[in-house]
Chains A and B, each alone.
Chain A
Amino acid sequence: MIKRQYSLTAERRTWRLLTLVAIMGVMWLIVHQITDGVFITPRNLTNLTVQASITGLVAIGVGCLLIAREIDLSVGSLLGAVVVASVWLQVDHGWHVVPTVALVLTGGLLIGLFQGLCTTWLRIPSFVVTLAGFSYLRGVAYGITGSVTLFGTSQGFRWFSEGRLSYTLTFVFVLGAFGILAALWAHDRWRHQRGGGLRAIAASVRPVEVVGGIVAAGACISLLWIFWSERGLPVPVAILGGVAVMAVYVLRHTAFGRHVFAIGGNPEAARRAGINVAGVILVLFMVSGVLAALGGVMQAARLDAGPPTVGLLLALDALSAAIVGGTYLFGGKGSIAGILVGTVFLASIQNALNLEGVATYWQYIVSGTVLLGAVAIDQLAQRRIDQEYA
């Protein structure tokens, strides 16, 4: 009989994430004081979440690849190419929103497919494949318009950045997203207790789950307050939320998701277990390509222009967000919640420094230091765990 139906290792990872949330909370309060009450306002937090939504979207794709022991360095350049292409198609060729978005998303999918095939079929390490993509896709971004920045997208296209869901839809969407996650958790727990009823489920709840639940409920209420006060849920945040819920479902509750983790833990063992390793990696590259392209659409709508330099450091931002959020660089560990917290954490630092008018170079220095600090703390904690089990 398996008596202990929980994992101390998984709980430790959740505590780490909750600690990161707590640190972020303290940081928000301090910054709020320093900025004379500007930081924790619906307007600023809406800006922050909209800014973070593009990085978050790309970080989900990159993070899933990291979990499967692969990497995608080309996302920033792909996003740049998509930004330029979407504006160029509308301004120079008069394309409408739907065909423009359909074409660039298909382009992202095909680039992902190509990079995935290079990695799985030609067996070129994904680092090299996507490093090449980092270069040639940036070339494409410059080449489309001959380095000229085009301006002026259609109003329909700008919905991807400026659009807001109605108050009713905002309410339904935010509560729905958290409700789905809670339902998935409760369903799993109920099945594990062999249908023992609410009492059995309540008895099985662990302290970390109580704290996690409180934090999630707090996040849900905060998001409702923020977007209720600011004309409704911004479309980029809604897109990120939808993608995040889908990603949680796939990674945690489907066989495909388990296979992603298995490949990250031991690709050869996964192959011997009959898993189509190449197929899984191919799908992940395609997802990363589509998400980077979707991020590009949102970015182009936000800028209302197509500068070919956009997204130059996006891959590093996305990787940093995933790693700060607890994704293991060498595969097998990570979570969507962690990736989102890492994204908001780094975006908060950037936002705070912007509010204080700190020079851009300081933002790079602080972001780099946070990344190094997070990984160093993880390494020290892991060393302690290894010694414990040695």
Chain B
Amino acid sequence: MPDAEALLTGHGVAKSYGPVHALRDVDFQLMPSEIVGLAGDNGAGKSTLMKIVAGSTTPSAGEVSLNGREISTFDPGSARAHGIEMVYQDLALCENLDARENIFLGREPRRRRFGLRMIAAEQMTHGTDALLERLEIAIGSAFEPVSQLSGGQRQAVAICRALAFKPQLILMDEPTAALSVNAVAPLLRLIRRLPAEGAAVILVSHRLSDLLDVTDRIYVLRNGEVVADLVTAETDEEELLRLMAGLPRNGQRPRRNGAE
């Protein structure tokens, strides 16, 4: 049974691509305003799990519940309607559109004028303006195509898009992977502020220092299974690496958060 207070729960979630088992019998739980990290080597199943929650792919088995209600339809539109947003590793921005158009893409504010339905472009401009100010993000121009922005600015646009419609949950897939060293710290500060904006976060990153820096808990995945559920304050990079690689330490079992 899903925890009544949990924002997101998953039970026995599995995903197979033909003979390949990307996820096997995975259980997970996320509380409101919590930042949870997913750690694991390539092919561990982190991105697959994110895609299932984001509605980009359908699980082969198991159930996923949001606010105690099972999710039956897995598509990006439904996930967004449920308040689940994803910041993809490739950012999923339309390079030819400007920041405003990307932020409001698929959810453009509309109005009726002269008997015609049209986009309320100024609402997009003013909304973007307010969002950038609230998140203390500076970009060159919200009217320029995002292809003209730097990597960090593009990342900021992708995060703004995720935050624009007051989501309950933001999924972030390798948000720091394409950033310069200088751009990483502001982004991590921004992620830390997200719970105050009312959003829980699931963060996937190969940079374990990032996970240790901003998360409350970390799930470690290996070969499509969750092998540990750790409280971030009680773990370190060495333990994460050991669990990811499947190496035991002094015959101890991994520490777990809550009842096993």
Contacts and interface: CB of A to CB of B under 8 A. Distances in A.
Contacts of A194: 122, 126
Contacts of B95: 265-266, 332
A265 B121 CA distance: 19
A187 B113 contact: yes
- SS of B interface (majority): mixed
Contacts of A10: 143
A201 interface: no
Given A7-B143, A255-B119, A389-B148, A274 B80 contact: yes
**Most interface-central of A7, A264, A265 (chain B CB within 10 A):** A265
Contact of B97 (A191, A192, A261, A389): A261
B117 interface: yes
B133 A1 contact: yes
Given A192-B121, A254-B118, A273-B106, A2 B128 contact: yes
Contacts of B29: none
Contacts of B132: 2
Contact of B143 (A4, A265, A275): A4
B141 A2 contact: yes
Interface residues of A, number: 37
A69 to B, nearest CB: 11
Given A8-B144, A274-B76, A274-B77, A254 B94 contact: no
Contacts of B129: 1-2
A2 B93 contact: no
B96 A264 contact: yes
A219 B113 CA distance: 27
A262 B105 CA distance: 8
- SS of A interface (majority): helix
B68 interface: no
Nearest to A271: B76
Interface string B92-120: 11111110010001111010011011111
B86 interface: yes
Interface of B: 54, 56, 75-77, 80, 86, 88, 92-98, 101, 105-108, 110, 113-114, 116-122, 125-126, 128-129, 132-133, 140-145, 147-148
Interface of A: 1-2, 4-10, 183, 187-188, 191-192, 194, 249, 253-255, 258-259, 261-262, 264-266, 268-275, 332-333, 389
17 contacts: A2-B129, A191-B120, A254-B117, A254-B118, A258-B108, A258-B119, A259-B105, A261-B97, A262-B94, A262-B101, A266-B92, A266-B96, A269-B92, A272-B56, A273-B76, A274-B77, A274-B106
Top 6 A-B pairs, shortest CB-CB distance: A274-B77, A265-B94, A332-B96, A265-B96, A273-B106, A191-B122
